[in-house]
Amino acid sequence: MERRQIEYFLAVAAHGSFTSAAHALNITQPSLSHAIGSLERELGVELFKRLGRGVRLTAAGEALLEPAQQIVYDFATARRSVQWVRGLRNGRLDIVALTTLAVDPLARMVGEFRGLYPTIDIRIADPDQAIEVADMVRSGQYEFGLADFSVPAPRLQTMELPEQEMLAVLPPDAPAPRRRMLTISEVASLDLVTTPQGTTTRMMTEQALAGAGIPLRIAVETTHRAAIVPLVLAGAGGALLPLPMAEDAARQGARTFRIDPPVTRRVRLLWRSEPLSPAGQAFVEFADAFRGRPRQVDAMP
């Protein structure tokens, strides 16, 4: 029994005649009649009663109908599974993310994801402005975007990821209390190192410390985000940084402090509503599992 014979059988049963079924299948009627005749001889039963121009199922045909439908469904499922695997073997993901989010959580996500799918290539881009993340995904330039909730995302699918905790990071020799926590007012009164007006890092700092009710003193303004930690370590001032960057600074000797009340940043994954690539669909499923796992926090000196 061949899949082709099963599909022909279902077509004749659905259309009620060999002529209509042959037309729908785009084959000749003699070819269709021959295939059904071969199937009947193989099974040793008549599947259709020939009624002039039409046909109807016999009892044997009725008995075959549901199993035949299941066979065709199983073949389709098998084909989709193979195509899925093939897509994952040759897949590629293009992701645009804010720099601080590329450090965390995206770096962890990409590392774990490639552990599961090592043949998928991943490209990560950095937008000039935060607002561009949604635009670059919406236009199709990138399949996914990673941004905080300050970036509007109309007409995009979204998935909220774990919040980022923000810490105060001070130079190694900075005078600071022995306790491991600073108030927002204490952080706001520091000489701060940050990026220019309009950048994500600057907006994040200003929004987080707005509740202190005092003007911020921006001691050093730099367009180079990667220079913030070295500047803090060199004694230029303090900074407000996401937990992973703060942990890294602490390992290099900086003093880190949690903030009371806690300052957090909400993060989400963005993608278009259109069907995703096999690699993209796998990434969404992975991200959904990823966000349900607690993050391991390093002990800070």
Rg (CA), the chain: 31
Structure confidence at residue 32 (pLDDT): 92
Q: Which pLDDT does position 80 carry in this prediction?
A: 61
The whole-number pLDDT of residue 77 equals: 66
- For residues 169 and 192, give the distance between their C-alpha atoms in angstroms, rounded to a whole number: 10
SS3 60: helix
- Furthest-apart CA atoms within the chain: distance in Å: 100
Pairing of strands 157-170, 239-242: antiparallel
The helix/strand/coil state of 256 is strand
Complete domains list, the chain, with CATH: 3-88 (1.10.10.10), 92-163+265-290 (3.40.190.10), 164-264 (3.40.190.290)
pLDDT in tens, 85-137: 666 777 889 999 988 899 889 999 999 999 999 988 999 998 878 888 999 99
Q: What is the pLDDT of residue 301?
A: 45
Residue numbers in the chain where pLDDT is lower than 50: 297-301
The CA distance from 213 to 186, in Å, is 11
Task: Say what the pTM is.
Answer: 0.65
